Amino acid sequence: MSDISLQIDGKEVIAPEGVTILRAAERVGISIPTLCHHQKLEPYGGCRVCSVEVDSRGRTSVVAACLFPVEQDLVVRTRTKKLERIRKSLLEMMLAHAPDSEQLQALAVEYGADKDRFEKEASFCIHCGLCVRYCAEVKKKNALGFIDRGARKEICFIPEIASKECWECKECFPLCPTSALQAAFVLIKALSFPPEST
């Protein structure tokens, strides 16, 4: 893979062709916020908190840094008024679902997001998919999945798999930016684990 050069926040950056903007920025110490990204997992592009502005082939657009591959002479801005507005709105929507999330609260402070802007719908899950994808891609167990769609979408442990695999594992727990995963696990534990394991 050959190296290419691009510009991120005014800094000249050399990066291997094909890596994401997020990875290229990390290499030079430029931090871009993320919520659904994990280095062991395939790029997902779910939360859009990593949105950045790019100038490419005469056009300016907003793209997800965790998905968009670098290209020669790409110009990237990670902090603009427009991006701050996007991140603020996204965080406000997520905080309506998970107002107690410490990770969201920290980002809310950074981007001036008002956790009370939207009416609370405490589903707790922000649909980042980290738990589902980690279990599928890293553990190869598929003990978790999403059920329903849209606003009703929520994660669910598959009882037949979870009762065999999850008790000794729980590696997905620290990945969850909210308390949704732990809450779902408490529920499935009560429903499907034998009393001596609880």
Residues that bind ligand SF4 (CB under 6 A): 125-131, 155, 175-178, 180-181
- Binding string to ligand FES for residues 22 to 61, with x set by CB under 6 A, is what? ------------xxxx-------xxxxxx-----------
Q: Does residue 118 contact residue 93 with C-beta atoms inside 8 Å?
A: yes
Minimum Å gap between C-beta 16 and ligand SF4 is 29
Contacts to ligand FES from residues 62-91, by CB under 6 A: 64, 66
| Nearer residue to ligand SF4 within complex by CB, 86 or 94 | 94
Is residue 125 at the binding interface for ligand FES, with CB under 6 A as the rule?
Answer: no
Structure tokens at 35: 């919520």
Minimum Å gap between C-beta 1 and ligand SF4 is 31
* b/e burial code for range 17-50 (CB count within 10 A of at least 16 → b): eebbbbbbbbeeebebbbbbbbeebebbebbbbb
Distance between CA atoms of 178 and 198, rounded to whole angstroms? 22
Is residue 188 at the binding interface for ligand FES, with CB under 6 A as the rule?
Answer: no
| Nearer residue to ligand SF4 within complex by CB, 163 or 178 | 178
Helix ranges, the chain (H): 21-27, 81-97, 102-111, 130-133, 159-165, 180-192
Distance of CA 136 to the CA centre of its chain: 16
Structure tokens at 57: 């082939």
Minimum Å gap between C-beta 44 and ligand FES is 6
Q: Which residues bind ligand FES (CB under 6 A)?
A: 34-37, 45-50, 64, 66
